[in-house]
Chain A
Amino acid sequence: MGYLEIEDISKRYGDRTVLNHVSLSLKPAEFVSLLGPSGCGKTTLLRLIAGFETPDAGKLMLLSQDLAAIPAAQRNLGMVFQAYSLFPNMTALDNVRFGLRIRKLGSKEQILRAKDMLALVGLADHMHKFPSQMSGGQQQRVALARALAIRPALLLLDEPLSALDAKVRVQLRDEIRNIQREAGVATVFVTHDQDEALSISDRVAVMHDGAIAQIGNAASVYGAPEDIFVARFIGISTELEGTVAGNNTVEINGIAVPAPQAKGLPMGAAVRILIRPESVKLSPANTMSNSALAGHVTGETFLGATTQLKIALPKGDTLIATLPTIEAAKFPPMTPVGATWAPEASHLFHIDGRRVAIS
């Protein structure tokens, strides 16, 4: 049994199903992100764990203890909110002490622990400041220190970075991860930002329409999407339609492209092929192979070390390719090119969105 067990949880608001039989298990000290577009149910799931909402069906177990009968205030979970949630009438130190006061710790112990926590988040020099005297990033750090000070059984982070500007966001997300590792506390992190989720999580649960579409480490969620929603939501890719033209071949726009995943599918079956931009290889049109898709470069976006090229294919499709900038310089706009990819680098889906099982 896991540290936190979410078993078959469902939640409805009126006739709208927000969570549909969700199950998830956390190991001790694990960092799991709930990632999905708005309305996918990720925040509701977090609020159920916190005890601010009650599930209609299913079970929540923390350390083999059923949470159903335990009110939010007694669950001993630390939570950081999206909105600034520091108590405006208290200094940073008093905010961090708040949970310890409630627990009636000795006042020396309270201050010692609160100071330790503020030092952990790098705000030891700001402990006498009021929230209105601190930046958004500092406030969220204090909120993190406050949540950790009570030595929670579980840390819940509800989009804590989304109100911050981009630079602070990246810096603070790495800090959150380091602090979480140091504190060794199991953490559920809700976000709609895939960079955040992929960069700091042990595992990412991609949520869609009230269910977990896929859960796994960042590499598997990105590299082996289990359905077309995950493939479209995580990272960028080009989606092309084709038909099965043989055991290891798919035909796209009349070109037979090698695709070992198509093995065993009936001839003529409609499929979708997704290709990540970094898998695409380009060659000049005059040296291209038979299995290459012909097109021409229509646009380029300079990204520093790499450059993203857009390639217009016949029938109106646009293929996105990311190449090292030096390489991309060989293909200025309007250059006719041939595009190929390693056969195993493409992802093949049935027309209904399921991943084609590799047989």
Chain B
Amino acid sequence: MNLGKKLFLALTALYFTIPLVATSLFSLWEGGNRYGFSGYISLFHQDELWTSLSLSFELAIETVFASLVLLVPAIFWMHLRSPRLKALFDVISALPFVVPPIVLIAGMSALYTGPDWLISTPHYLVIPYVVMALPYTYRTLDVGLAALDLKTLSEAAQSLGAGWWALIFRVVLPNLTTALIGATLLCIAITMGEFTFANILLFKTFAVFIAQIGQSNPTEAAALTLLSFLITWIAMMGVLLTGRGRAEIGGTR
């Protein structure tokens, strides 16, 4: 590696690490020249941290569940029986990139009416979260299913006597574990960090809690930001690790 490349890499590394280092230093600042963990300690003693964290986590699990139940059968069917719909699916899945969250939320508050147990509770957030995660979950599952020769595998299973149930639970899903884990972790990462929807609809999720703390207690906010980074990183690391293990599915040697 020549000097130019090294310099470029070093600058890139600095660009990403300086804010993180600065944030962690700031999270330890106790005024004047004093540094310590008091910010973290007072943060961990706030009940709101744990309620908002567990709410966000609950929403993440619900989003994962709703996304998979909705998408797995739809994408499975699209690959097996109507490959022509793929273009349409691709466009729909990219819509959340095009429509800003603020438009989505305006539409949701204006158009959606429904039972109180849904509309007036934070679980209502699962609907926009599924939509927001759609580009990522759809693509992950689509790639996973495309890697399987679904037509041949399903015909082979049928010729051996398998019905739809056995086909899906014994053949398709076990070969889709990498994609399923990937979609799940991406869903979690997105939901844990989502701010716009929750803030406008006045639900105190983890991201909303971070913002509030930031207005009153900046060092605790810095500590919290690092914590939220950590959760996202763990999820991302999970995606990377599961993606690596069985990259060779179905091939020949």
Contact = CB atoms under 8 A, between A and B. Distances in A.
Interface of A: 50-52, 72-79, 81, 83-89, 98-99, 102-103, 131-136, 139, 143, 146-147, 150, 156
A352 to B, nearest CB: 40
Contact of A102 (B153, B155, B160): B160
Given A50-B159, A88-B175, 5 more contacts: A50-B155, A88-B250, A99-B161, A146-B156, A156-B159
A72 B158 contact: yes
A81 B250 contact: no
B12 interface: no
Nearest to A72: B158
Instruction: Give the interface centre of A73, A133, A156 by most chain B CB atoms within 10 Å.
Output: A73
A131 B251 CA distance: 8
Contacts of A50: 155, 159
A73 B250 contact: no
Interface in B159-178: 159-163, 166, 170-171, 174-175
A133 B175 CA distance: 16
13 contacts: A72-B159, A77-B159, A78-B160, A79-B155, A79-B156, A84-B149, A98-B162, A102-B160, A102-B162, A132-B252, A135-B252, A135-B253, A150-B160
Interface in B114-135: none
B82 interface: no
A119 to B, nearest CB: 20
Contact of A81 (B148, B155, B162): B155
Nearest to A87: B171
4 closest residue pairs by CB, A with B? A99-B160, A85-B156, A79-B159, A88-B250
Contacts of A103: 161
B149 A85 contact: yes
Contact of A52 (B155, B171, B251): B155
B253 A73 contact: no
Contacts of B250: 84, 88, 131-132
Contacts of B248: 132
A98 B160 contact: yes
Contact of B252 (A52, A102, A136): A136
B152 A132 contact: no
B249 interface: yes
Contact of A73 (B148, B161, B171, B251): B161
A105 B162 CA distance: 14
Tell me what chain A mostly uses at the interface: helix, strand, loop, or mixed.
mixed
Contact of A83 (B149, B159, B160, B253): B149
A51 B161 CA distance: 12
Given A89-B175, A102-B166, A132 B253 contact: yes
Nearest to A71: B158
Nearest to B166: A102
A110 to B, nearest CB: 13
A81 B152 contact: yes
Contact of B153 (A74, A87, A134, A156): A87
A191 to B, nearest CB: 18
A51 B159 CA distance: 9
Given A79-B155, A85-B149, A89-B174, A74 B161 contact: yes
A79 B153 CA distance: 12
B157 interface: yes
Contacts of A75: 159
B161 A76 contact: yes
Contacts of B253: 132-135
A102 B170 CA distance: 10
B163 to A, nearest CB: 6
Nearest to A47: B155
A194 B170 CA distance: 38
Contacts of B171: 87, 89
A156 B159 CA distance: 10
A98 B252 contact: no
A85 B170 CA distance: 14
Contacts of A147: 159-160
B250 to A, nearest CB: 4
Instruction: Give the interface centre of A79, A86, A98 by most chain B CB atoms within 10 Å.
Output: A98
Contacts of B251: 132
A98 B158 CA distance: 11
Nearest to B149: A83
Contacts of B152: 81, 83-85
Interface string B139-161: 00000000011001101111111
A331 to B, nearest CB: 46
A131 B249 CA distance: 8
Contacts of B149: 83-85
A350 B46 CA distance: 98
Nearest to A50: B159
Contacts of A73: 158-159, 161-163
Interface string B189-204: 0000000000000000
A56 B158 CA distance: 22
Given A131-B250, A132-B248, A134-B253, A85 B153 contact: yes
A155 B171 CA distance: 22
Contacts of B158: 51-52, 72-73
Contacts of B174: 89
Nearest to B174: A89
A99 B174 CA distance: 17
Given A89-B175, A132-B253, A135-B253, A81 B161 contact: no
Instruction: Give the interface centre of A131, A133, A146 by most chain B CB atoms within 10 Å.
Output: A131
B4 to A, nearest CB: 41
